[in-house]
Amino acid sequence: MFSPSPPPSGLLERVFQFIDLHQNEFVQILKEWVAVESDSVQPVPHLRQELFRMMALAADKLRCLGASVDSVDTGFQQLPNGQTLPIPPIILAELGNDPKKPTVCFYGHLDVQPARQEDGWLTDPYTLTEVDGKLYGRGATDNKGPVLAWINAVSTFRALEEDLPVNIKFIIEGMEEAGSVALEELVRKEKDRFFSSVDYVVISDNLWINQGKPALTYGTRGNSYFRVEVKCRDQDFHSGTFGGILHEPMADLVALLGCCGPQWHKDSRGSARGCLSLTLQRVWGSLVDSSGHILIPGIYDQVAPLTEEERKMYKAIDLDLEEYRHSSHVKKFLFDTKEEILMHLWRYPSLSIHGIEGAFDEPGAKTVIPGRVIGKFSIRLVPHMNTSVVEKQVKQHLEHIFSKRNSSNQMTVSMTLGLQPWMANIKDNQYLAAKRAIKTVFGTEPDMTRDGSTIPIARIFQDIIQKSVMMLPLGAVDDGEHSQNEKINRWNYIEGSKLFAAFFLEMAKLHL
Amino acid sequence: MFSPSPPPSGLLERVFQFIDLHQNEFVQILKEWVAVESDSVQPVPHLRQELFRMMALAADKLRCLGASVDSVDTGFQQLPNGQTLPIPPIILAELGNDPKKPTVCFYGHLDVQPARQEDGWLTDPYTLTEVDGKLYGRGATDNKGPVLAWINAVSTFRALEEDLPVNIKFIIEGMEEAGSVALEELVRKEKDRFFSSVDYVVISDNLWINQGKPALTYGTRGNSYFRVEVKCRDQDFHSGTFGGILHEPMADLVALLGCCGPQWHKDSRGSARGCLSLTLQRVWGSLVDSSGHILIPGIYDQVAPLTEEERKMYKAIDLDLEEYRHSSHVKKFLFDTKEEILMHLWRYPSLSIHGIEGAFDEPGAKTVIPGRVIGKFSIRLVPHMNTSVVEKQVKQHLEHIFSKRNSSNQMTVSMTLGLQPWMANIKDNQYLAAKRAIKTVFGTEPDMTRDGSTIPIARIFQDIIQKSVMMLPLGAVDDGEHSQNEKINRWNYIEGSKLFAAFFLEMAKLHL
């Protein structure tokens, strides 16, 4: 943790005092919200009802603050088994429309991952329970706590009978954990209405990379997910009866996924070690070599070059590599320095092979020659890579490799998912405002982070409404989103509420 | 089909006439035996009861022939779930012990694979149904028909009140489809008692490689089944959160299964095409290249060289390659000639990759980095390869390949199953007798075949009782053992009964 922030003056001081004084009430509301089993993942009617109840609770809360609230019905979710379930309404709410103030739209979600105490929870997941300053409960950090922190900030201005420094909008959904069904369509539909006045979008749905030091997140990787099918025939073969005379699909597939021929590749990926080396290396492989380097020709061409400014930003980040490695239960990473590790998670692409469908995957021994197998792998994309360019490169490469095998099997490659990477301009006003607010509340500069995984919502907002998007997390690295014993620290929740309030004031100042 | 055999004279003529005249009775007994659902694969008590009933029926039948029958209790089968089921008795029976006659022991089994009409049977699988001379029913060809054909042959001599030309022994089990539980142990135990007087073992549990031309089988491939585990940690990773900084176990594994580095290999495998070429080829791979060649160093060293005599035998085999390819639903085989195809199924080893355990194997997309994956592959062994030599070669090779990757993961290779190949001396008396009997009954020389798959029982008999073992199949290539609409042709069943009778007489002649 950090030294207490210097005493703020005037309005800010009163806001902070109010939040400190009323923190138990804020925790109490979080407890009420966590008590609702708003699980969107398990498609069962009674949980869907809980989701509707959750959204109604939130709409009421916002109305009490004086917001005009629209609970938008977005129809039905089609389940793989043919059934349908109603989608909980998406809340569009607004507070204030002073043309002289900037309008900040907050995105959050109130649905949660499934949780059952018998899966290893030490407390009932739907009863927020405080132990040593940690508030345990499903959704505490993902994402009910941060949504409430934003609401707490707004309600504090209300309670103090102070004007809100900015116009506030909310878009709150209840299907994030189930893939944000219907969200993109609604954003598109509301582009010229609800979103027309929005200047900034703030998302608070990720975590710090530290336990005590705040972060500001300006990018997420994209993802191109591939499926490569190799087929001899639909039925499997017996390896005794056919072994030795077939082009076996599994042999083709492991060659496509693994390595299978000489290639020259240009090592143009920057790294803290070798920095933009352009030496030619001879590599024998198809997808990725044992140093994690992707072998698909051209794949690194669009990767944004590393700037000196960026390098400094990575250097400034607090990360205890040994502690990180230890808590990850990994013996050794591919890289030895903090900068390399973070860059390869955030600013360089990666390729992971996920598995094979159609082959023998159970315990024990089965002497089968699978007749048709499907390899799955995906590439995490970074600026300025583009899903359609990557798609073409991967297809060309695999077709080339396959053609060299002279196999009589059929190969089909398809990109089943293409999500662009997202990166914000950290010189935008809201990033400056957030940095200042963080400095005020926490007394420190934030870690400037990205997220190695793909959070499509940021890119969706950026693409559709074409405004600055910022991710401003409140939770600590050990909050355990999606896992057992999810929690948010009381400190993070309360200081986070202050952070949002300070952010409103900083935004207003920058807008003068 | 072939031209009718020349009219046999004397005893043989009477035997054949009797069999022809009583063929409907023989079919009727087969119908009664097929009616018993003696499924040993599904471990459920009521099916196990049916198995016991089946074995009792067979014991009764043999007693009626005057055999002394011992139904040996071999205890209980341990199921993976911890439960136990009683093992049906193994029948040891004998008829005659004239020291002047050779003693031939017939091995067969009376258990069957599961069958349900709704899986695609056109008739009830447990009601033997004749359509166009085809007797459809589960177990008709595998193995109740052949067991009865042997019994029919014996009973014909009995009915004609003729001395049996040879001493006959039977070993009939009820657990073949479930892995011949308890059989090997019993054979070992009875080595110096029941088997001490046995001169020859005949197995009739495989098929011809043609629809109308008989075969005589003198070899089966062995099998070394491997499991190679690559582990980073027990839990999986999220590919967004960890992709780019790990030695991913799947990348290691596909490199181990696929190809991953330059190697020199000596192409010393014989083939009808390139016949024992010793050129050096540069190959980039780990297990097997795209021409089916196994890349493990030394693996071909023990393979028996191809002799001129053998080559002629392959040439003589009837196989319509186009028809075979077509009925296999395969666009193209690795080889273009009959001889190459058969040699690569029977007399050369093959390597098949079966699948991967622990990776993502379901439909759809999951962005997981599996933390621990297990590749499964096996090598079909041929004379004079040896499972323990192969085990050492595979382990050394994979360890070498893995060490080149500098991966921080743990790799473990183990051979989970090692079954030696089997090959008989086709100059043994019983092969000569069988050839003559085939010539007499079918008017043709048999196809001299091997089986590409592993039938451990032949090797077990050969190893333990150290006598000549022969596989003398009765069923046609399209009988569909293990699949829907299994059948035996009436012609095969009846001529097969004659074949066994003629074989007894030929054996006696050779023994003079």
Question: Which string of DSSP letters, residue by residue, matches A276-343?
Answer: S---EEEEE-SSB-TTS-B-STTTTTTSPPPPHHHHHHHHHS---HHHHHHHTT-S--S-SSHHHHHH
Q: Which pLDDT score is estimated for A8?
A: 54
pLDDT for B1 beyond 80: no
**A311 belongs to a structural domain:** no
Q: Which residues of A touch B360 (CB under 8 A)?
A: 354-355, 357, 376
Cα angle: A201, vertex A203, A209; to 5 degrees: 135
Q: Which residues contact B260 (CB under 8 A, 6 or more apart)?
A: A258, A259, A284, A285, B284, B285, B286, B401, B404, B405
> Which H or E element spans position A496?
helix A490-511
SS3 content of chain A, % helix, strand, coil (to 5): 35, 25, 40
pLDDT for B493 beyond 70: yes
Confirm whether A176 is a catalytic residue: yes
Given pLDDT bands bounded at 50, 70 and 90, which one contains residue A512? confident
What integer is the mean pLDDT of B371-376? 97
Give pLDDT tens digits for A481-498: 888 999 999 999 999 999
pLDDT for A222 beyond 70: yes
Q: Which residues of B touch A251 (CB under 8 A)?
A: 258, 287-288, 290, 353
**A327 belongs to a structural domain:** no
Q: Which residue of B has its CA nearest to A367?
A: B354
Q: Which of A120-129, A213-222, A275-284, B250-259 has the lowest mean pLDDT?
A: A275-284
For residues A216 and A249, membership in a common domain is answered with: no
pLDDT for B49 beyond 70: yes
Among A388, A419, A450, residue at a domain's last position: A419
User: The domain that contains A184 carries what CATH number?
Assistant: 3.40.630.10
For residues A301 and A215, membership in a common domain is answered with: no
Give pLDDT tens digits for A72-112: 999 999 988 889 999 999 999 999 999 999 999 999 999 99
Give pLDDT tens digits for A262-288: 333 444 444 434 333 333 334 456 899
Pair A114, A41: CB distance under 8 Å: yes
pLDDT for B113 beyond 70: yes
**B311 belongs to a structural domain:** no
Q: Do A408 and B332 touch (CB under 8 A)?
A: yes
Q: Do A355 and B370 touch (CB under 8 A)?
A: yes
pLDDT for B275 beyond 60: no
Given pLDDT bands bounded at 50, 70 and 90, which one contains residue B215? very high
Catalytic residue (one of B142, B173, B176, B248): B176
Q: Which pLDDT score is estimated for A370?
A: 95
**B370 belongs to a structural domain:** yes
Q: Which residue of A has its CA nearest to B358?
A: A361
Dihedral over alpha carbons B53, B55, B61, B63 (to 10 degrees): -110
Q: Do B354 and A366 touch (CB under 8 A)?
A: yes
Q: Do B330 and A287 touch (CB under 8 A)?
A: no
User: The domain that contains B247 carries what CATH number?
Assistant: 3.30.70.360
Catalytic residue (one of A37, A111, A199, A236): A111
Pair A445, A316: CB distance under 8 Å: yes
pLDDT for B35 beyond 80: yes
For residues B169 and B301, membership in a common domain is answered with: no
Q: Do A452 and B242 touch (CB under 8 A)?
A: yes
pLDDT for A4 beyond 80: no
**A387 belongs to a structural domain:** yes
Range of the structural domain that residue A231 is part of: 222-306+347-419
B182/B88 Cα distance (integer angstroms): 10
One-letter amino acid at A294 equals I
pLDDT for B285 beyond 80: no
Q: Which pLDDT score is estimated for B9?
A: 66
Q: Do A243 and B351 touch (CB under 8 A)?
A: yes
Q: Which pLDDT score is estimated for A286?
A: 84
**B475 belongs to a structural domain:** yes
Q: Which residue has the higher pLDDT, A5 or B147?
A: B147
Pure H helices in B114-248? 145-159, 183-190, 239-242
Q: Hey, what are A103's tokens? A: 């309008």
Q: Return the number of CB contacts < 8 Å for A and B.
A: 281
For residues A110 and A43, membership in a common domain is answered with: yes
What integer is the mean pLDDT of B268-280? 40
Q: Do B258 and A251 touch (CB under 8 A)?
A: yes
First to last CA, chain B: 33
Q: Do A406 and B290 touch (CB under 8 A)?
A: yes
| Chain A interface test: which of B283, B290, B326, B450 (most A C-beta within 10 Å) | B290
Q: Which pLDDT score is estimated for A199?
A: 97
Q: Hey, what are B375's tokens? A: 């590749």
A397/A351 Cα distance (integer angstroms): 14
For residues A262 and A410, membership in a common domain is answered with: yes
Q: Do A334 and B233 touch (CB under 8 A)?
A: no
Give pLDDT tens digits for A30-81: 999 999 999 999 999 999 999 999 999 999 999 999 999 999 999 999 988 8
Pair A410, A261: CB distance under 8 Å: no
Among B396, B419, B442, residue at a domain's last position: B419
For residues B44 and B176, membership in a common domain is answered with: yes
pLDDT for A385 beyond 80: yes
Give pLDDT tens digits for B424-450: 999 999 999 999 999 999 999 999 999
Q: What is the mean pLDDT of chain B?
A: 92
Given pLDDT bands bounded at 50, 70 and 90, which one contains residue B265? very low
Q: Which pLDDT score is estimated for B225?
A: 95
Q: Which residue of A has its CA nearest to B240?
A: A453
Q: Which residue of A has its CA nearest to B369?
A: A354
pLDDT for A220 beyond 70: yes
What integer is the mean pLDDT of B384-395? 97
For residues B277 and B130, membership in a common domain is answered with: no
What's the number of domains chain B is made of? 2
Given pLDDT bands bounded at 50, 70 and 90, which one contains residue B284? low
| Chain A interface test: which of B286, B376, B471 (most A C-beta within 10 Å) | B376
pLDDT for A410 beyond 50: yes
Given pLDDT bands bounded at 50, 70 and 90, which one contains residue A507? very high
Confirm whether A60 is a catalytic residue: no
Pair B221, B455: CB distance under 8 Å: no
For residues B214 and B234, membership in a common domain is answered with: no
**A339 belongs to a structural domain:** no
Among B390, B419, B448, residue at a domain's last position: B419
Q: Which pLDDT score is estimated for B264?
A: 38
Other beta carbons less than 10 A from residue A357's beta carbon: 21
Pair B470, B458: CB distance under 8 Å: no
Q: Which pLDDT score is estimated for A259?
A: 58
* Closest CB from B354, B408, B452 relative to A240: B452
Give pLDDT tens digits for A316-354: 999 999 999 998 999 999 999 999 999 999 999 999 999
For residues B252 and B295, membership in a common domain is answered with: yes
> Which H or E element spans position A229?
strand A222-231
Q: Which pLDDT score is estimated for B202?
A: 98
* Closest CB from A232, A292, A330 relative to B233: A330
Q: Which residues of B touch A255 (CB under 8 A)?
A: 258-259, 285, 290
Given pLDDT bands bounded at 50, 70 and 90, which one contains residue A9? low
Q: Which residues of A touch B246 (CB under 8 A)?
A: 292, 330, 333-334
pLDDT for B409 beyond 70: yes
For residues B159 and B269, membership in a common domain is answered with: no
Q: Which pLDDT score is estimated for A56?
A: 98
For residues B40 and B120, membership in a common domain is answered with: yes
Q: Hey, what are B140's tokens? A: 């008709």
For residues A47 and A150, membership in a common domain is answered with: yes
Q: Which pLDDT score is estimated for B365?
A: 87
Q: Which pLDDT score is estimated for B271?
A: 42
Q: Which residue of A has its CA nearest to B367?
A: A354
pLDDT for A260 beyond 90: no
**A35 belongs to a structural domain:** yes
Provide the ipTM: 0.87
Backbone angles phi, psi at A108, to 5 degrees: -155, 170
Judged by DSSP in three states, A509 sits in helix
